[in-house]
Chains A and B, each alone.
Chain A
């Protein structure tokens, strides 16, 4: 069947099988490999992209369901070559190590900050609770999102994480 999906502002018309998952459409058909997959059961969230402005797990959505809709992926976060504050925050606060979960985390973070410019750490954790990271223990991911929120609000930028206490 033929579908037309607008991804990061560009329309793509392709012939696909109805069973093609949106994550595979993005990665294999459109070669937008920034979104990843990491499980079979919709648990890990490495595949999170926006569908009509809402984060979804693209491994659990058919490409056919995105026909006529808008998709935004990590490749569409930066604008005119300038990194999104969320991307800056992750780089500044060491919010990523292997980088595999990162695109999904950033897409959810971007959506969260669009709807809640002053999240608490608990709200950030809750918003990301459907997505797994194996490397960071989540601490710096939370700091990255809070840093980005402060940047967007124009608050004084949060210091990097405080130095650990030194033994006397």
Chain B
């Protein structure tokens, strides 16, 4: 029988291409009111007075909520995902531009927006910490004076690896190359902004929330803890979500305000942020000031890596990663290379900027680590006069070394890195490109070729080591098989475009010999689905996918027992083949899942081990992360007269183990590659020294369009994951993680004749030209 895996058009498209999706702002409930947030124009200021009288008097305003209102309910502050606290509505001070100060509830959105202008706030400006590198200066203003005992802007120090061993390796090395580099503050900017419709039924006490949440169950538990509402009275529905990319993992003040608004008015309250709010106040990504050092022999054997990082966490530490890892999985920065030793130190600081840090498909800071190591390898190649592809090939972890434990403790599960790199080189025609480059340089034309070999670690994770707010990162799946043999799978992860309704149906269908059309996937509604930690960090396939497969196999085993009863054989005499349990040696004697399901519900005498159904569920606790990897090659053309860079080609070879639906995998890769072009060349959330956000709209936070993106050239290798039930690994973030260094390396390669060693992203025309003059721009902070 045909495998259910493979290219399959998506079930979700039927409604989406008709414009019949249900996104949060599409929801309209009877009597629904609309919320709007008044935000601080200043980055750091004391609130001297706050007068909402005029706003409350607006004829269409129903309520105005302030920090004082919330404080009465112990809701003015809420815990973050990093065990800090964040102001829901400011009470004493504002600590970043755009911070929430008041919440208006009105009959319609236009009135709510008008009423914001009727709120009078007097601020006393305070000195601003906008430069992370100055946040720990002795005279720096203390941002978090709300925290008892906080005397400075220091949040944490964290380290990994063996420093002594690394120091020894460096001491003995022929060559050490070091470089400062910034991974600029970025923002996922999903096309749909964050929002919520909060409906507290005053009679039943049930709180129903339709909201843009990548982790509805985790949100439910958080609301229960925060708002003191019994968790069984909370229902969260994530409807269709217009992109997540980590932006929709945290709880935001606007959500809580909407809940309180519904409590106060007794009516549903909708709050959907606008784009400037999204860019200025929701979870940003990256903002790592990194110092990298690489040690090698003169002939190109990489020995060790060191990294020191200053992490800008904004005004509240709201970054979302497993609690034991304040710098996420950054310490996988050892990358795809066989190193003797490595160590890193990360220091987190507060600044007067929006909170966040882990977002935008970083796989918990792996994006930052990959950028560091891939830039360092290219810098080493330049120093040694070696070709960057050859240097990489020489140092990649070899297939026979798997499972490979890197110097900072990660056990990479499987991989054949040289094969992937060779495929990429062949697809790109690397040697021909280098010849073309030489010919062009002789004529005064300039192009660059950049590589990135990356290893990801995704699918968090083993619950012993990985939890978010104490919730272990295991995910559930429950599978019901109806009497007529079609199935309903409930999963805890939450699609924002990844196609779960299709791929998870394929997973179950494959195990049970069904057609994917016969498997309905239910997700996003916490009343109808099992608990889990949601979709981010490329964890859906590794964790929820595994859970779905395990549940399906439990169903299949139950079916074996029933089939044995139906066939009057012993269960151990049955084999599973062609979608049936059949008698070994007598294949005519077989039953499909559909037949078995009906029988299970019938009056058939059921043996021990089976109730009157085939249903099964599980909670899957992954034994390890999965380690997808890739080899990327970017080709750019440079106009030295203007500094403009054009991405001519991008070759991407990815290995994510077994691919359930190759069409969907490719789509995930395509999307992430565009992120690389964007972050490398044009995207950054920049601030000025007064803490004004200079990228508060899409006029200045530039995202790549169809014109900047080339036609992506994809290749694949398949190295199954040894511990995943079907050998699959995650893939959603691979391209976002792996592509920026390929683009940056390509631009730096093009700039080599001009003596440019390094310039920080984004490599805008101005930055490229300035680098050519010997003065690359500082890209995190403007005057």
Contacts and interface: CB of A to CB of B under 8 A. Distances in A.
> In the complex, is A directly touching B at CB under 8 Å?
yes
Interface of A: 17, 19-20, 24, 27-28, 31-41, 43-44, 46, 73-75, 77-78, 83, 87, 90-92, 94, 96-103, 106, 121, 124-126, 128-142, 160-161, 163-167
Contacts of B674: 133, 136-138
A97 B503 CA distance: 13
B709 A139 contact: yes
Contacts of A77: 18-19
B781 interface: no
Contact of B707 (A87, A99, A129): A129
B16 interface: yes
Contact of B697 (A20, A40, A136, A163): A40
Contact of A38 (B21, B275, B672): B275
A20 B108 CA distance: 12
A139 B712 contact: yes
A142 B711 CA distance: 9
B729 interface: no
Contacts of B14: 91
Interface stretch (B380-388, B419-427, B459-467): B419-427
25 contacts: A17-B110, A27-B26, A35-B19, A36-B23, A38-B242, A40-B274, A91-B13, A94-B666, A96-B497, A98-B497, A99-B21, A100-B21, A101-B242, A102-B16, A128-B705, A134-B190, A135-B667, A135-B671, A137-B674, A138-B705, A140-B670, A165-B423, A166-B716, A166-B717, A167-B717
B19 A134 contact: no
A139 B705 contact: no
Interface in B1-42: 7, 9-10, 12-14, 16-23, 25-26, 28
The 7 closest A-B pairs by CB, nearest first: A34-B19, A100-B242, A98-B497, A99-B16, A137-B670, A97-B497, A74-B19
A130 B704 CA distance: 10
Contacts of A160: 7, 663
Which of A94, A97, A103, A126 has the most chain B CB atoms inside 10 A of its CB?
A97
Which of B17, B21, B109, B275 has the most chain A CB atoms inside 10 A of its CB?
B17
A137 B712 contact: yes
Interface of chain A, helix or strand or loop or mixed? loop
Contacts of A128: 705-706
B422 to A, nearest CB: 7
A137 B709 contact: yes
Nearest to B672: A137
Interface of B: 7, 9-10, 12-14, 16-23, 25-26, 28, 109-110, 188-193, 240-243, 245, 274-276, 419-420, 422-423, 427, 496-499, 662-664, 666-674, 697-699, 703, 705-707, 709, 711-712, 714-717, 735
A41 B672 contact: no
A145 to B, nearest CB: 10
A24 B19 CA distance: 15
A28 B17 CA distance: 20
B670 A136 contact: yes
B703 A132 contact: yes
A99 B242 contact: yes
Nearest to B272: A37
A129 to B, nearest CB: 5
Given A46-B191, A167-B423, A167-B717, A41 B699 contact: yes
Which of A44, A99, A165 has the most chain B CB atoms inside 10 A of its CB?
A99
B275 A133 contact: no
A99 B715 CA distance: 26
B707 A100 contact: no
A98 B248 CA distance: 14
B17 A98 contact: no
B715 A134 contact: no
A168 B216 CA distance: 43
Contacts of B735: 137
Given A75-B19, A98-B496, 10 more contacts: A17-B110, A32-B19, A36-B25, A41-B697, A98-B192, A98-B242, A101-B242, A129-B707, A131-B706, A135-B497
Which of B190, B672, B735 has the most chain A CB atoms inside 10 A of its CB?
B190
Which of B18, B275, B711 has the most chain A CB atoms inside 10 A of its CB?
B18
Given A33-B26, A99-B16, A100-B23, A139 B663 contact: no
Contacts of B707: 125-126, 129
Contacts of B423: 165, 167
